[in-house]
Amino acid sequence: MRYLNIKLIFFKFIFLISFLSFGQSNKFSNFVYEDGSVIWQKVYETELHRDDVVKYFEDSGIFISNSLRVKDNTVSGETAIITPNYDGAGVKPGSVPIMFREGYKGFVLIELKDTRYRVTMSRGVFVSNLSISIFNVTAESTDTNFDFVYNMRKEEWKNFFVKNGRIVNYSIEKSFEIIENKSNTQDW
């Protein structure tokens, strides 16, 4: 009888673990499937004043200069191409699908609060500059919308994105992280 109870508990535990580990949600890293499209969103902490945060993003070069808009507590605009940060993400370029290799861009809205700012990238695309020529016929790839990585029918993230999406997430995340200049004062 005792053996049967332990066996039953063991199988319940295995079932629970498998259910939790294979269930997917509409969120992957900082990517969220919301209202029929995939967005990237993250909240950052900062000690900088609102005006300093705005100035940082104006000078950062991450936005296409003529698209940048500052209004009340928001900064918005189209981004320049965000290049993949392979070293920081711990990924080798050859192991990443072609669609993730060139870079990413989209419309970004930065909402400012006291000591925080929230970055939301919508209308995101994977930039592709691939051109293949075979027998004098040239085929050029096109940019792919972020929505491609989410299977709407199954309501889950596509496997190749789950396996390789960390390079995309890391690169975008680091692009909007404010590096505050902290003086290193050492007594000598």
Evaluated on CA atoms 141, 147, 153, 159, the torsion sign reads positive
Residue 7 pLDDT: 55
Q: How is the chain split into domains, by residue range?
A: 26-175
Q: What is the pLDDT along the chain (188 residues), one digit of tens a residue?
A: 555 555 545 444 443 333 333 344 567 889 999 888 999 999 999 999 999 999 999 999 999 988 999 998 999 999 999 998 888 888 777 777 777 778 899 999 999 998 999 999 999 998 877 666 777 776 666 788 889 989 888 888 888 888 888 889 999 999 999 987 644 444 44
Residue 79 pLDDT: 96
Residue 124 pLDDT: 92
CATH number of 26-175: 3.30.530
Helix (H/G/I), strand (E/B), else coil: 19: helix
CB neighbours of residue 53 within 10 Å? 19
CB neighbours of residue 92 within 10 Å? 10
Helix (H/G/I), strand (E/B), else coil: 94: helix
Residue 110 pLDDT: 97
Pairwise CA distance, residues 144 & 58, whole Å: 27
Beta pairing class for 144-145 and 116-127: antiparallel
Residue 89 pLDDT: 82
Compute the half-sphere exposure of residue 32: CA atoms within 13 Å on the CB side of its CA: 10
Residue 13 pLDDT: 42
